[in-house]
Amino acid sequence: MDCFVKAVMEPTSDSSSSMFDTCLRFSLVFVLGCTAMETARTVPYDGDGGTNSGTGSSGSGLPCDVDTMLKNDCRSCHSKPPIGGAPMSLDSYSDLIAPAPTNHSLTVAALSLMRMQDASAPMPPSPASLVSSGDLSIFQNWVNSGMPSGTCSTDGGTDPYGTPVVCTSNTYSTAREGSRMAPGQACNNCHASSGEAPIFALAGTAYPTAHEPDDCNGVSAMQIVIVDANNRSITLTSNTAGNFDYSGSVALPYHAKIVANGRERAMSAAQTNGDCNSCHTETGASSAPGRIMAP
């Protein structure tokens, strides 16, 4: 699923019960029109998406505090290789001191610092949370001191979507109706053909990994945060099948992110399609890299 922005959260009273009176689930891109999903940050991002073949160790040549800051704030997109539309990797010392692709007079590190401090176009982009003052200070001090190299070489920062197909829960939904039916499937697509089931403003399924099969039960207690075009925030919670849904009004386009245990994974592009699983399929469709994945 895609979408989100930041605002005053309005948790729904019972997001799991109203969720799928027929079918539904989330995909970090609550969109009515899907686009690349991942381009925010995971806090902290600990590389729990497996490794991608051909990648090296993360943070090679960086001071460890800088490496940790980048891992926490940037590498859910600026990994090696970059994902979610990110233009470059922030994985190693050589990545940071290279000329910025959009301004060759600046290093990637210098331009990154400018974006972190840019109130009108911040990085990470909304709806991801901004870099904390402590992390910003670490990065700013490093850039201002001439970007000295370090000795940190921590494995991580790799593509979280470079993982195999697996049903992590090892359980499949057999429900024929209700909020726990058909996890992973596109609810509205299915409901429209039946002519009887409700059409949701937002619906999808949250999973622990990127490529999980249809009907596999997802992960519960994930918060899916939607910020619509009126800057109104809507918070949904995935049920025991991983499903979530919302039938209220949503001003388009909207932004979305998934939040759990102090971490978050956000979509960079605004969305207009609320049938999240229509893009967040097992293998990904319409530029989505796979399932709506827990941070």
pLDDT tens digit sequence for 88-140: 999 999 999 999 998 999 999 999 999 999 999 899 987 888 999 999 999 99
Cite the DSSP H helix spans in 91-168.
Answer: 93-97, 108-116, 133-144
Are 146 and 167 contained in the same domain?
no
Does residue 287 sit in helix, strand or coil?
coil
Domain co-membership, 145 together with 191? no
**Using CA atoms, how far apart are residues 109 and 115, in angstroms rounded to an integer?**
10
Q: Residues 5, 79: one domain?
A: no
User: Sheet of 255-260: strands edge to edge?
Assistant: 233-237, 223-227, 255-260, 263-266
* pLDDT score for 158: 62
Q: With contact defined as beta carbons under 8 Å apart, do 143 and 116 qualify?
A: no
Residue 74 lies in a domain: yes
Residues 273 and 215: their CA atoms lie apart, in Å, by 21
Give this prediction's pTM: 0.67
Residue 24 has pLDDT above 70, yes or no: no
CA dist 228 and 5 (Å) reads 7
- Identify whether residues 4 and 69 lie together within a single domain: no
Q: Per residue in 203-222, pLDDT tens? A: 999 999 999 999 999 999 99
Q: State the total domains in the chain.
A: 2
231 and 284 inside one domain:
yes
Q: What domain range includes position 206?
A: 1-38+161-295
Q: How far apart are CA 206 and CA 199, in angstroms?
A: 19
- Bridge partners (DSSP) listed for residue 266: 257
